[in-house]
Amino acid sequence: MSIAIFFDQWSPKRWTEALRKALPDTTIEIYPDITAPEEVTFALCWKPAEKVLVGFPNLKVVQSAGAGVDHITRTQTLSESMVLSRIVDEQLSEDMWEFLLAAVMTQLKNLPKYVDYQRQQTWKRQPYRGIQNTNIGILGLGVLGAYVAERFAELGFPVAGWSNSPKNITGVDSHHGEAGRQELLSRTDMLINLLPLTSATENILDKNLLGTLKKEAFLINVGRGPHLVEEDLIALLDSGHLSGTLLDVFRQEPLPESHPFWQHPKIQVTPHVASVTNIESAVTQIADNYMRFHDGRPLLHTVNIGKGY
């Protein structure tokens, strides 16, 4: 039994050191330097190369190094007998909350606009919004969405959320289904996308959905790049529908130099930093999951492979 690490974009160095410390008796290798592929039973992945896992006939557990699993489900063929697991970490929820709070408050008080005005030496007041009259809509009320929804509600924002199944979250209006989504969108001033990327949610942020929002609404996408139909967003922004958007995730990361998002006056770009996995706490979870697998106990934070999240 051994663990193999498949990281196509992140450096595996600190992860490998931490994992070797946590599991000193376990063989841990980094792809492509795997000495015995048939010994690999547990794969730790972040954006693994397309179909790379087929070369490991005895693989039983595929562990995402982050909260999302789309980088695995969209590139690998997982058998029904495999277990897919992900990171769920309180600090990840807290960091997401802090990022979204900063994004929303900055927007409410027009701070990006004043940065532009300063560059033009323009003294001009803008009308601003307060917390009580800013409706927040959140797509996805899972571990992250539910957490941030409750925090926004505690601050006094009117908050509504949308998920597959109804939720009971203090201070949050729960919606589900097509009609529920329409109702949420038509009232929303700030739309936050925290859905996982699955076949059901790909391209969900299109002209129909975004067009249902109020004219002055603002979009924050911290889910995944392929949720968004980029041409639809640009067309809506250019036509004066939507006041702007903050995008943290993209179809191609890093965002290519020539991409129109970089220069668009209504688009703010952040480099996939809304909430970054903490290596130490992630490795503690991963080592725990490995020992659970080793001892035949149920794993933590497993994902329904059929549903894709």
**Catalytically active residues, by annotation:** 224, 272
Is 144 among the residues that bind ligand NDP (CB under 6 A)? yes
CA dist., res. 85 & res. 63, Å (int): 5
Site for ligand OXD in 185-204 (CB under 6 A): none
Is 185 among the residues that bind ligand NDP (CB under 6 A)? no
Contacts for 228 with CB less than 8 Å, ≥ 6 apart: 193, 203, 205, 221, 247, 251
Beta strands in the chain (DSSP E): 2-7, 27-30, 40-46, 61-64, 83-85, 136-139, 159-162, 172-175, 190-193, 218-221, 244-247, 267-269
Contacts for 286 with CB less than 8 Å, ≥ 6 apart: 19, 22, 44, 63, 65, 87
Site for ligand NDP in 4-63 (CB under 6 A): none
Site for ligand NDP in 282-301 (CB under 6 A): none
Is 158 among the residues that bind ligand NDP (CB under 6 A)? no
Is 65 among the residues that bind ligand NDP (CB under 6 A)? no
Query: At closest approach, how far in Å is the CB of 71 from ligand OXD?
Result: 8
Per-residue interface string for the shown chain with ligand NDP, residues 208-227, x marking contact by CB under 6 A = --------------xxx---
Query: At closest approach, how far in Å is the CB of 273 from ligand NDP?
Result: 6
CA dist., res. 259 & res. 250, Å (int): 11
DSSP state of 210: H
**Binding footprint of ligand OXD on the chain (CB under 6 A):** 66-68, 277
**Binding footprint of ligand NDP on the chain (CB under 6 A):** 67-68, 140-145, 162-165, 194-198, 200-201, 222-224, 248-249, 272, 274-275, 309
